[in-house]
Amino acid sequence: MTNYNEDYQYNSCTSRGICSVNPRTSSLQEILVLYLCLASYYAQQLEGTSYKNKKIKNLILNTISIMVSNPEFSENDFEAIVSGFNTEIPKLINEYEKICKEKDEKPVYLKTPIKFDESANIINSIRLGQQEYLKKTQTMSESMRDLLRIIFVMAKSICINILDLESFNIEKGYTLILKLLNTLNNNHTEEELKEIILDTAKANNELLSLLAAAKAERYGIQRPKEVFYSTQKGKAILVVGSNIRELEIILEEFKEDDIGIYTHDEMILAHTYPKFEEYKNLKGQYGQGMENCLLDFATFPGPVILTRHSLYNVEHLYRGRLYTTDFAYSKGVIPIINYDFSKVREALDSTKGFKTGKICESEVVGFNFEETIKLIDEKIKSNNFSNIFIVGLNGYTKEEREYFETLFKIVPQNILIISLSICATRDNIICLNSCFDSFKMVELSKTIPERYNIKTTLFFPNCDRHTISKMIYIASLKKTDIFVGKCTPITLNPNLITTISKFFGVKELSTPKKDLNIILHEK
């Protein structure tokens, strides 16, 4: 994939701490976990009854999703979320008590340090959050804590998928979330947690399949598409994130205006769907991606719209020009309520946009899955391959590019490499540009070992908020070895890698020579 700045010195995610979570936020998240566990306990007790509480459902799903999307949520956001739980959880408890009385059953209450009659005092909340964290460290083994953390990370992935499905009017997965959160309320052995995690990863992949099908039905079958990084003279809007349904809404809103719409980061995948060719105001892709959002947002001469679940950090260089459709938002970010873009239009009136435009490189993004399988068929029929390597999405670091460039040079000719990002010219290498399309990477990792019965290894150079669930799903198939590269702490904590390796067999990248030796000599 095209990158204008390739070294870590330009990586604002790493150098500015955007992709880490500070102790204050971590303590507040502990409090939100308490509320989530409490709400899910009573919501699950009411499953199957006629009682429905849409507010608590939205609170649960949105709270989990923003805890991964926006690590630096404001105190106002925290207080609003806690206020919502303090209002709605007592309603759940009252309804639960009412149903128990009707059934002549004794209510079973969940013990909690939460007190509903207290306001969300930040200082007290941070203190309680720290106490809860210390309690876990004192009463649980490190492996147990990590397995529970993995469950919660997977809950975040599931919630994002549920909310994205809702944008296509598909209601699916809420019961799964309640069941998963209630795992945190009960005592389990490590082996039991492992099985719960495996089952959850499979269920989450089903949600991803539904989402992929919904996109294909609405926007057409993905195909390779040339995407332009050039800019054009005039006013412009930058759309950030992965929710292409919201990109569609924005394009519709401004299609009669002389406004250029540019995508950023994962949103580049929208260009691979035929439907988006209809929008003449969709100009191309801008910037280097979320890990360089500081530079990208600061240099973009217009409003920046953050779609749901966009990972971002607010800096003074662009504060006041960020808008979001998300459930919660940082200080300085302006909310878009019910897709009312009037404030964005006001901002456009005061911006000059691109003065002249600039010609930059373009790149071909995406691939057709069926055509790719046919290409692999042809390769395998004419060669006697002993192994298949699938190299996943590009992590954009110089270190990882050097790793795979070296690996491609030393891999024997009897190994077929299917690379979804980094490319090299060799007869045994199939080059694709899947960009951010990790779902297709998972589908290839599932299809290839079943279709060819050849030992398959998947490399995860890049991590996103769904990485843990996807790795564990592939590991559950027991037909593909997995190697994972270095990830930012917010997407994959180093401690979790150790636990994932222990329970699910995922290995960390070391050196090309050493890893190749492990793969070729493993039984």
> How high is the pLDDT of residue 177?
95
> How high is the pLDDT of residue 274?
97
The torsion angles phi and psi of 173, rounded to 5 degrees, stand at 105, -10
Domain annotation for the chain: domains and CATH numbers? 12-217 (no CATH), 223-363 (3.40.50.2030), 367-521 (3.40.50.2030)
Q: Whole-angstrom Cα distance, residue 193 to residue 191?
A: 5
> How high is the pLDDT of residue 115?
82
Q: What is the separation of C-alpha 519 from the centre of its chain, rounded to a whole number of angstroms?
A: 29
Contacts of 184 (CB under 8 A, 6+ apart): 33, 37, 148, 151, 152
Q: Whole-angstrom Cα distance, residue 10 to residue 419?
A: 25
Contacts of 444 (CB under 8 A, 6+ apart): 369, 372, 390, 418, 420
Helices (H), 107-261: 122-139, 142-166, 174-183, 190-219, 244-253
> How high is the pLDDT of residue 298?
85
Contacts of 110 (CB under 8 A, 6+ apart): 37, 38, 41, 42, 185
* Per-position DSSP letters for 143-161, written without gaps between them: HHHHHHHHHHHHHHHHHHH
> How high is the pLDDT of residue 10?
37
Conformation bin of residue 17: beta by default, left when phi > 0, alpha when psi is -120 to 50: left
What percent of the chain is helix, strand and coil (3-state, nearest 5)? 50, 15, 35
0.85 exceeded by pTM: yes
Which burial class, exposed, middle or buried, applies to 258 when counting CB atoms under 10 A from its CB (0-12, 13-18, 19+)? exposed
Which residue, 170, 158, 171, is CA-closest to 197? 158
163-202: buried (b, 16+ CB within 10 Å) or exposed (e) per residue?
bbbbbeeeeebbebbbbbbbbbeeebeeeebbebbbebbe
Q: Whole-angstrom Cα distance, residue 98 to residue 160?
A: 33
Collapsed DSSP state (helix, strand, coil) of residue 520: helix
Token output for 520: 């070729």
Tens digit of each residue's pLDDT, the chain (523 residues): 334 333 333 344 444 444 445 677 778 888 999 999 999 999 999 998 989 899 999 999 988 877 755 555 667 778 888 989 999 999 999 999 999 999 999 999 999 998 876 566 778 888 888 888 888 888 888 899 899 989 988 998 999 899 899 999 999 999 999 999 999 898 899 999 999 999 999 999 999 999 999 999 999 999 999 999 999 999 999 999 889 999 999 999 999 999 999 999 889 999 999 999 999 999 999 987 766 777 888 889 999 999 987 755 554 445 568 898 987 777 778 999 999 999 999 999 989 899 998 999 899 999 999 999 999 999 999 999 999 999 987 655 678 888 899 999 999 999 999 999 888 889 999 999 888 888 888 999 999 999 999 999 999 877 777 889 999 999 999 889 999 987 766 566 777 888 999 999 999 999 999 999 999 987 5
Q: Whole-angstrom Cα distance, residue 336 to residue 70?
A: 16
Q: Whole-angstrom Cα distance, residue 229 to residue 29?
A: 38
Collapsed DSSP state (helix, strand, coil) of residue 44: helix
> How high is the pLDDT of residue 300?
93
> How high is the pLDDT of residue 104?
96
C-alpha torsion angle, residues 125, 129, 135, 140 (rounded to 10):
150
Three-state secondary structure readout of 400-464: HHHHHHHHHHHCCCCEEEEECCCCCCCCCEEECCCCCCHHHHHHHHHHHHHHHCCEEEEEECCCC
Q: Whole-angstrom Cα distance, residue 22 to residue 2?
A: 32
